[in-house]
Chains A and B, each alone.
Chain A
Amino acid sequence: MAATYKPVLWNAHKRIYDTILIAGIVAYLAIFIAVGYATADSANTSLEILTISALGACAFFMLHIVLAIGPLARLSPKFLPLLYNRRHLGVALFVVAASHAIFGTIWYHGYGVINPIVSLFVSNPRYDAIGAFPFESLGVIALVILFLMAATSHDFWLNNLSPAVWKTLHMLIYPAYGSVVLHVLLGAASGHGGSPLYVWAVAAGFAIIVGLHITAGIAQSGRDAATRRNLDGDWIDAGTVADIPEKRARRITTPSGHQIAIFKYDGKVAAISNVCAHQMGPLAEGCIKDGLVTCPWHGWQYDPATGRSPAPYTEKVETFAVRVKDGRVFVAAKPNPKGAAATPAAIG
């Protein structure tokens, strides 16, 4: 779908989302600093340090949201709008984290005789002692990863980095999270950051993120097991028509590992491969726009009845035969060739 690149593809939803995002960041920082100032024993709290803390805590909080969106969207389609807009969240996260890092570097390292960035790494060279570990180096690792993800979030990069590089970059969010956790805990251990509440907040956040990932994994494997039980000859019972929202899809995985997106639209159901021909985006998380399946990642489109992109494009994905009986959808376990027409089934 070669359309000329725009800096940002704005629409009404994204404007609302971005407004909430920015207002949320400002409110978070303001409340954090105000509460910190009111409750601090004034002797060793300055506004500067509070600002550094507030920015760090805000970035850390946003990182949790970024990590929670994936499993939440797999658990309930209600969260899909967050998934589609996470690019702006990611860029905002980087900006907040970078502000934290810049203020932190200037405040603690900017007034000495050596270059502040060199000082960041050498001023506390005890990588063997937990209480005095240079926790800032761990922050640097996380910041570099957040930078790479933010810097490559434009569609241009999706089209021009290989899928393998793209995937690797995005999986790096987990090491980034690990580095930040250690950054915060070791920072606290060496007397930064103050309250022991912090350690508990970090532990709670960790438990939530791990719990969400495990829950989403269990839910998915439950659905896959149900699909296996529902195999009836060459047809899979894919559940009731009523459970598929209009113009959206249900995803199932066949026993042989094919992922199928089953769409309901205009009184019909049709099934095509879940895997987008562009960069393997999850078509089942997309929707029907103008009668075409639209990939949630970069908007490539396919006719649900043929698996073909509309002219002048020539991309194709596999189709699957479908039929509807007594309000239930049955889909063929074996795919048709890419771009082969499969008549959508009328909803009884």
Chain B
Amino acid sequence: MGNIESTAAALNLVALYAAAGVIFAILFLLFGITRIDNGAKGAGLGFRLLILPGLIALWPLMLIRWLSGGQPHG
């Protein structure tokens, strides 16, 4: 810390992670979500927008879940 270059570089990494999250979230909301969660079938745009920030932040967790096919629940 205390160094402009290294702080800027760290923040760029964060931005990169979030950008990857945005791309993931779009693909996931279009194609993935109804496969891993029945509750999302027929759910609207409002619901998708509400979970969007979380998808961008936690995308690696949801990628793993998508790849493993999701667990049935409820």
SS class of chain B's interface: helix, strand, loop or mixed? helix
SS class of chain A's interface: helix, strand, loop or mixed? loop
A156 contacts B4, CB within 8 Å? no
Interface digits, B40-66 against A, CB 8 Å rule (1 contact, 0 not)? Answer: 111110110111011001100110010
Chain B: minimal CB distance from A101 (Å)? 15
B39 contacts A118, CB within 8 Å? no
Q: Which of B1-38 contact A (CB under 8 A)?
A: 1-4, 7-8, 11, 36-38
Number of A-B contacts (CB under 8 A): 85
Q: Which of A1, A125, A148, A155 contacts B2 (CB 8 A)?
A: A125
Size of interface on A: residues with Cβ below 8 Å to B: 32
Known contacts A115-B8, A118-B4, A125-B1: does B38 contact A7 (CB below 8 Å)? no
Tell me the nearest residue of chain A to B10, going by C-beta: A121
B51 contacts A122, CB within 8 Å? no
Size of interface on B: residues with Cβ below 8 Å to A: 31
Across the A-B interface, the 3 shortest Cβ-Cβ residue pairs: A125-B2, A7-B46, A151-B54
- 26 of the cross-chain contacts (CB-CB < 8 Å) are A2-B38, A2-B39, A2-B74, A4-B39, A4-B40, A4-B42, A4-B43, A5-B47, A6-B46, A7-B44, A7-B50, A114-B4, A115-B11, A121-B1, A121-B7, A122-B1, A122-B7, A147-B57, A151-B53, A154-B47, A154-B50, A156-B37, A156-B39, A157-B54, A300-B74, A315-B74
Question: What is B's interface to A at a CB cutoff of 8 Å?
Answer: 1-4, 7-8, 11, 36-44, 46-47, 49-51, 53-54, 57-58, 61-62, 65, 70, 73-74
